[in-house]
Amino acid sequence: MFKGSNVALITPFKNNKLDEDAYIKLIHFHIENGTKGLVPAGTTGESPTLSHDEHQRVIDLCVKESKGKLPVIAGTGSNSTEEAISLTSHAEKMGANGALVVTPYYNKPTQEGLYQHYKAINDKCGIPIIIYNIPGRSVIDMTVETMARLYELKNIVGVKDATGDLSRVKKTLDKMGKEFIQLTGNDDNALDFNKRGGVGSISVTANIAPKLCAEFQKYSVLNDDKSILEAKRLDDILQPVHNAMFIESNPSPVKYAAKLLNLCEDDVRLPLVKVTNSTKEIVKDALQSANLF
């Protein structure tokens, strides 16, 4: 179920409030343009600055509007285990197909602490859980060995790997096998990630280039010569866009790109700010290079 191009959905704001109309428009934009899965209320959705009610509302709307046409992997992580259980339970109740649970940031738990955190969520909830391993933001790095222990539990099904370490893909594949879902959280390494055993991505760029990202993912997991060449061609088109999306803190650049494409406003919540004028030019150039206008 969880493969191909899954979008790490931005959360549109207007006057510092959730812009529900724009958010619903975004969801249908992805349904119509080839995205394979929706990931609301993740880091790209500015989950750290969403209130508890907003967090739940974002998930509720995504499940309601997708109407089963696309799987919903709800972002339900927290550095509080009890809060993560609460958010995951709510997502399950609302009908989400899975939960994306980030490693607990700031607390810096040991590997045993990580295991117990995810085990507690697993034991209290009944939907598939994808581990989100992003040491660049969370400080901690879950080892392959800890993931293998977690994979023995009933609900742990895969990982969103944002370590940037491509050698981890084979190590994870060797340890857990092909059934353990490996999705990259780094758009720029998606081609090599899939070559090594990955099955897709949870993508920032897909917010503004869903068709290109979906096509790229389709070809990147096939092994015939024609598909390999097409995946490389699409990857070359997408790389400038990927780079532009991270020239400043995510999701400020992708929200500006979304504004250029009339998808939503580029409002972000403090401590994030809108992108600078110099970054705006880089984003514009990247969109033009990929013929996204």
The residues annotated with a catalytic role in the active site are 132, 160
In a 13 Å sphere around the CA of 276, the CA atoms on its Cβ side amount to: 6
DSSP state of 272: -
Q: Which two tokens stand for residue 77?
A: 């992580």
As a whole number of angstroms, the distance between CA 28 and CA 93 comes to 22
**Cα-Cα end-to-end distance for the chain:** 31
Q: What DSSP state is assigned to residue 187?
A: G
Q: What span, in angstroms and rounded, lies between the C-alpha atoms of 56 and 63?
A: 11
Which residue is it, tokens 């400043």?
248
The SS3 assignment for 95 reads: coil
Joined tokens for residue 30: 């992805």
Report d(CA 182, CA 288) in Å as an integer.
31
Bridge partners (DSSP) of residue 16 are: none
C-alpha–C-alpha distance, residues 222 and 55, integer Å: 36
Report whether 6 contacts 39 (CB < 8 A).
Answer: yes
What are the start-end ranges of the H helices in the chain? 20-32, 52-66, 81-94, 111-124, 135-138, 144-151, 167-176, 190-195, 210-220, 225-245, 252-260, 277-289
How does strand 17-18 pair with strand 13-14?
Answer: antiparallel
